Amino acid sequence: MQNMGTDYGRVAFPDNHHHHRHSDTEISNERVSYSGPLSGPLSKRAGRRSAKFNIPDSSSSNEEKYVELTFDVGTDSVALHSVKAAASTDIEEDPELTLLAKDLEKRSSSSVVRNASARIRQVSHEIKCLASFSKKQPTPARFDRTKSAAAHALKGLEFISKTDGGAGWAAVEKRFHDITNSTDGLLPRSRFCECIGMKESKEFAGGLFDALARKRNIKGDSINKAELKDFWEQISDQSFDSRLQTFFDMVDKDADGRITEDEVREIISLSASANKLSKIQKQAEEYAALIMEELDTDNHGYIMIDDLELLLLQAPNQAVRGESRYLSHMLSQKLKPTQDDNSVRRFCRDTKYFLLDNWKRVWVMALWIGVMAGLFAYKFVQYRNRAAYGVMGYCVCMAKGAAETLKLNMAIILLPVCRNTITWLRNKTKLGTVVPFDDNLNFHKVIAVGIAIGVGIHAIYHLSCDFPRILDASDEKYQPIEQYFGKQPTSYWHFVKSVEGVTGIIMVLLMAIAFTLAAPWFRRSKLNLPKFLQKLTGFNAFWYSHHLFVIVYTLLIVHGIKLYLSKEWYKKTTWMYLAVPITLYSCERLIRALRSSIKAVTIQKVAVYPGNVLALHMLKPQGFRYKSGQYMFVNCAAVSPFEWHPFSITSAPGDDYLSVHIRTLGDWTRQLRTVFSEVCQPPPNGKSGLLRADCLQGIKNPNFPRVLIDGPYGAPAQDYKQYEVVLLVGLGIGATPMISIVKDIVNNIMAMEEDEENDLESAGVNNSLTSKTPSPTSLKRKEQFKTRRAYFYWVTREQGSFDWFKGVMNEVAELDHNHVIELHNYCTSVYEEGDARSALIAMLQSLNHAKNGVDIVSGTRVKSHFAKPNWRNVYKRIALNHTNARIGVFYCGAPALTKELRQLALDFSHKTSTKFDFHKENF
């Protein structure tokens, strides 16, 4: 509160009512008795000013009773200091009437004068409304607003955020004129949401419109510009008391100053609708009863505005486990990039950071580019010294140099997709420390680009340069190459119809098809093509077009044998380049075919969850050993006998079953869900959920489609055990590999606790020194499992998504006694904390979790957060908690978040003592 240049002013109110809430007001009258509202003129000077009020009450005695309000009056601000029994009365002081003052925003003197009387009328109205409710006893204790939880709440109940409000009144005014061009200057209620920037919350904006109109006795469903400006001033008012009153008015539909259970139910339903929380909307009656039970302890059938404040100040009390006051202070400090005006020094530093972060990729790419350049130069020089150069010049050198790089690239492009080989190398060898196996698919794409460039150079120089020169060459010039081409051709068609020409053209066409359909906008069906062309997009088109490589490699070998300029077999090296990779890849496919087709897996359970997610629980095949974070391929002949699709394994290695969660995103997954839905009848009451195969309609063995699996295959997330601290981030269905890791961590922790108990029991039985040492099993487990702390962040758009792994969340919350795993669920459909649209959800969440231990958003024991995480603060908190540590960051989900998470990992690694290693799932 401002202390300099202020005096105290006192205003007295009759104390014959239940006082509830006080707005920030500005009073400058001498002590005078009033029977009307607080609306006297505002003095233009600071000083101690007070007033007396006499509000008749038939239930009171003839003796007048007063309450004294003390204000801090400054030159540009006025703040309420305290409320107590007036000295002229014998009333006992009511502790509830004491309020902690709150600074008003600094405004110009003219702004203060303009708003003062409106504020005063609001206070008078509130006191009058509550004067008739004096029988309500006892009064709940008021929260201390200096406490951290209350301070956080005071920032809440914002109706207009920075993004919603745009540029403030100027933007609202512009939208008003655009909307009312055809409505004679009147803004209809139906478009109020659009005008104030609440397009996505139409129903909530409608409720806000009704509350503001009721307060001003505005009838009808339209308002003019002046009324809109009045509405806007109250909506955008930064005073917490004003926002609280506005929210109260929204709930108080009949404007009688009290909130009934029906009104609570209605606002819960409205808030749930605004935040797309359908389950809460359906249970609005149950949650309304919970609020009334908590706040209406005397069963009056209504609650007051101070009860609403009490509920609000209770809501934001969830703190992250282990977060200290020092840490909270540190979180407020923003990590700023290092400034360096010297461009050379800045370039050197950035280069150094880049090499440190990407040295594995750098040396592999440097080796590949070096080998390509060497092969190109070798062939270029070789043909520069041959007879063909006299006729075709540098054109033949360029074509043959590109052809040599093509041979190697067509060979090594198969290696990154030899998944069994890569999994064996990363699991059984130390090559993973120097070779970036996690980037196998990215390297596959890079090589594909190299092939495209090589094909372009080779074809263009042959077709547009070499062949025309041969046709135009004189007899004397042609003579040295007659042994290769025979009699001099007389037409271009001679080259096109030859074996070399036909095989080359067909290969180029097939490669172009495969390359085009593999592009993201085709593979993910992002193009808006006509209906008859839709089959050219999607994963199926990508899958089948990619298998044209069998024809391409066959034609490539033929093309390499029928060379014009090389007749000796040992100079035709194409087959030499391809022999080993094709043999290795063929063995891989043979192993996969034999391993997966011997016996179909037994489906134990099938679940269809909200968000179009199909969960398959299978009996774990004998000998199927995997690590958390790995994935496997799934085939269903009823959908397609040839297609195999990769999915992360969601069960933990210690589970007695194998599970995958498949979200319907493409044509294959959509057909798979349809196939299983035809067999599985929906559960009773139309609810989606688990269907047990062993009891479905009394059939012991339901006729499930035949499902084959192949795997497991290595993935970046499987290396989480190498880190003592891990940050796991899953976006939507990308949580699947992280769920397996979380379960595995819990299983390992429980196993280590059992090992310790067994070691202690052994020590108790035998007191020898040898018995007190850990057992070999315990030592091996501790050596293999280094993880001692895990942070799991799951961000999803839909409330129903939490049903996918509800059991896992509850299990972790129950079994993780030492708080090794910190779980954070984020629902992005809910407006961020502080927004009035989510305020009641936050209040309700706090109440229900305190009473029942269940979160109303996720339906688990883990409290959910609203909106999107602040990833910089997430990294910052982990860096402060684990200084001088190396953190493994594992992410699975949409590519949009990859760049931000990777960049933050680099920033914090360079500017703090904590190092972050970022890994993204790619398969």
Token reading at 108 = 């110009």
723 plus 707 within the same structural domain: no
Q: Mean pLDDT across the stretch 603-609?
A: 85
Express each pLDDT in 128-148 by its tens digit.
444 434 333 344 444 455 444
Q: What's the confidence (pLDDT) of residue 845?
A: 85
692 plus 562 within the same structural domain: no
Express each pLDDT in 504-552 by its tens digit.
999 999 999 999 888 888 887 777 777 777 777 777 788 888 889 999 9
692 plus 726 within the same structural domain: no
Structural domain total, the chain: 4
Q: What's the confidence (pLDDT) of residue 685?
A: 52
Range list of β-strands (E), 531-612: 603-609
**How far apart are alpha carbons 316 and 834 in whole angstroms?**
9
Token reading at 802 = 């939490």
Q: Mean pLDDT across the stretch 15-36?
A: 36
Collapsing DSSP to helix, strand or coil, 156 comes out as: coil
Q: Give a yes or no: residue 142 inside a domain.
A: no
Q: Which residue has the tokens 């006892």?
A: 138
812 plus 874 within the same structural domain: yes
More confidently predicted of 877 and 238: 877
Q: Give a yes or no: residue 49 inside a domain.
A: no
Token reading at 467 = 């062949």
Q: Give a yes or no: residue 357 inside a domain.
A: no
What DSSP string runs through 310-348?
HHHHHTT----TT--HHHHHHHTSPPPPPP---HHHHHH
Show which of 657, 679, 711 is a domain's final residue.
711
Q: What's the confidence (pLDDT) of residue 45?
A: 42
pLDDT at 351 over 80: yes
Q: Mean pLDDT across the stretch 226-237?
A: 86
561 plus 704 within the same structural domain: no
What DSSP string runs through 613-682?
EEEEEEEPPTT----TT-EEEEEETTT-SS--EEEEB-S-TTSSEEEEEEE--SHHHHHHHHHHHHHSPP
**How far apart are alpha carbons 636 and 641 in whole angstroms?**
7
pLDDT at 581 over 90: yes
Radius of gyration of the chain from Cα atoms? 37
503 plus 613 within the same structural domain: no
pLDDT at 425 over 70: yes
Cα separations (Å) of 370 from 367, 373, 377, 433, 436? 5, 5, 10, 22, 18
Token reading at 506 = 């067909």
**How far apart are alpha carbons 204 and 208 in whole angstroms?**
6
Express each pLDDT in 759-804 by its tens digit.
666 655 555 444 455 566 566 656 666 788 899 999 998 888 888 8
CA end-to-end distance (rounded Å), the chain: 59
Cβ proximity of 923 and 660 under 8 Å = no
Q: Give a yes or no: residue 286 inside a domain.
A: no
Least confident range from 774-783, 817-826, 888-897: namely 774-783
Alpha-carbon dihedral of residues 454, 456, 460, 463, nearest 10 degrees?
90
pLDDT at 846 over 70: yes
Least confident range from 106-120, 219-233, 542-556, 582-596: namely 106-120
637 plus 730 within the same structural domain: no
Q: What's the confidence (pLDDT) of residue 52?
A: 44
Give pTM, 2 decimals: 0.71
> From its phi and psi, is residue 486 left (phi > 0), alpha (psi between -120 and 50) or beta?
left
630 plus 570 within the same structural domain: no
Express each pLDDT in 716-725 by its tens digit.
888 888 888 9
Q: Mean pLDDT across the stretch 557-585?
A: 84
Closest CA to 735 of 664, 658, 809, 636: 809
Q: What's the confidence (pLDDT) of residue 155?
A: 58
DSSP for residue 158:
B
More confidently predicted of 763 and 117: 763
DSSP for residue 601:
P
Domain, as residue range, for 581: 365-593
pLDDT at 296 over 90: no
Show which of 593, 618, 644 is a domain's final residue.
593
618 plus 587 within the same structural domain: no
809 plus 885 within the same structural domain: yes
What DSSP string runs through 406-422?
HHHHHHHTTGGG-HHHH
Q: Give a yes or no: residue 499 inside a domain.
A: yes
Beta bridge partners of 731: 795
**How far apart are alpha carbons 72 and 2 in whole angstroms?**
8
551 plus 687 within the same structural domain: no
**How far apart are alpha carbons 490 and 470 in whole angstroms?**
9
Express each pLDDT in 248-268 by its tens digit.
888 888 888 888 888 888 888
* Identity of the residue numbered 672: L
Q: What's the confidence (pLDDT) of residue 776?
A: 62
Burial category of 307 from C-beta neighbours within 10 Å (exposed 0-12, middle 13-18, buried 19 and up) = buried
ω into 712 cis (within 30 of 0): yes
Q: What's the confidence (pLDDT) of residue 313?
A: 67
Q: What's the confidence (pLDDT) of residue 254?
A: 81
pLDDT at 447 over 90: yes
Show which of 576, 593, 610 is a domain's final residue.
593
Q: Which residue has the tokens 């996969």?
A: 592
Q: What's the confidence (pLDDT) of residue 509?
A: 93
Highest mean pLDDT among 140-144, 566-570, 652-656: 652-656
619 plus 503 within the same structural domain: no
Express each pLDDT in 31-71 by its tens digit.
333 333 333 333 334 444 454 444 444 444 444 555 556 55
pLDDT classification of 23: cutoffs 50, 70, 90: very low
**The CATH number of the domain where 737 resides is what?**
3.40.50.80
Q: Mean pLDDT across the stretch 383-391?
A: 83
Q: Give a yes or no: residue 67 inside a domain.
A: no
**The CATH number of the domain where 237 resides is what?**
1.10.238.10
Q: Mean pLDDT across the stretch 179-190?
A: 86
Q: Give a yes or no: residue 299 inside a domain.
A: no
Q: Mean pLDDT across the stretch 202-212?
A: 87
- Mean confidence (pLDDT) of the chain: 75
Sheet harboring 789-796: ordered strands across?
Answer: 864-866, 821-827, 789-796, 725-731, 886-892, 915-920
Q: Give a yes or no: residue 574 inside a domain.
A: yes
**How far apart are alpha carbons 461 and 194 in whole angstroms?**
60
Q: Within a 13 Å sphere around the CA of 315, how many CA atoms are in the beta-carbon half?
A: 26
